[in-house]
Structure formats: structure tokens, C-alpha cells
Amino acid sequence: MKNKSKNIDINAKAGSTKENHTGSWRTFKPVIDKSKCIGCKRCVLTCPDNAMKMQKTKNGLKSKMNYDYCKGCGACANECPVNAITMKRDEK
């Protein structure tokens, strides 16, 4: 007998992060110490969910987090060359 099962795609489409607020299920969240941030953009380039942005401040470009889209993976903290991002337990 031939198997007639259908493949079900459970993965989100590429680029659909902005449609899905994924931050509600994280355990840890990145906390940015803006006094340490040097504006290198490594966190922005590393974030798999496009949750990090750069923001103009009076002290230059600094990282800014949108927690609605952050899954708490820690990639940004691992990439930060000056340890300006630490992962803290998310208190909900």
C-alpha cells in the first residue's frame, strides 16, 4: 500500500518575524548597558529575529531591543565585544 501522507510545513516563512510576537515565551532576556555599548552593530547583525535595532542618542549609536520579538537566545550577548549585553531571567 502506498503511503499517501502529506508533508506538513511547521516552520514559519522566512521574514515572518514581524508578524509573530515571539517574546512571550522566553526564559531569559538581554539587558543592554548603554554606557558600555560602542555602537558596533554586531548584536543587530547577529539577532535571528530582527529584535535589535540601532538608536541615535546624544552619545552616538546605541543598541535598542524590541522585546516583543526577542526569543532570548543570547546571540547578541555572545557577540558583544564589550560585554554591554547580559542575559537576565525574564520576570513576567
Residue 43 backbone dihedrals phi, psi, to 5 degrees: -65, -40
Q: What is the biggest distance separating any 2 CA atoms in the chain, rounded to whole angstroms?
A: 70
Average pLDDT, the chain: 83
CA geometry: angle 46, 11, 17, nearest 5 deg? 45
Assess whether pLDDT exceeds 70 at residue 71. yes
Whether residue 14 is predicted with pLDDT greater than 60 in this model: the reply is: no
Residue 49 pLDDT class (50, 70, 90 cuts): confident
Cell 516552520, located at residue: 11
pLDDT for residue 4: 59
| Domain 34-89, CATH number (from 3.40.50.10420, 3.30.420.10, 3.65.10.10, 3.30.70.20) | 3.30.70.20
pTM for this predicted structure = 0.74
**Residue extents of the structural domains in the chain:** 34-89
pLDDT at 19: 66
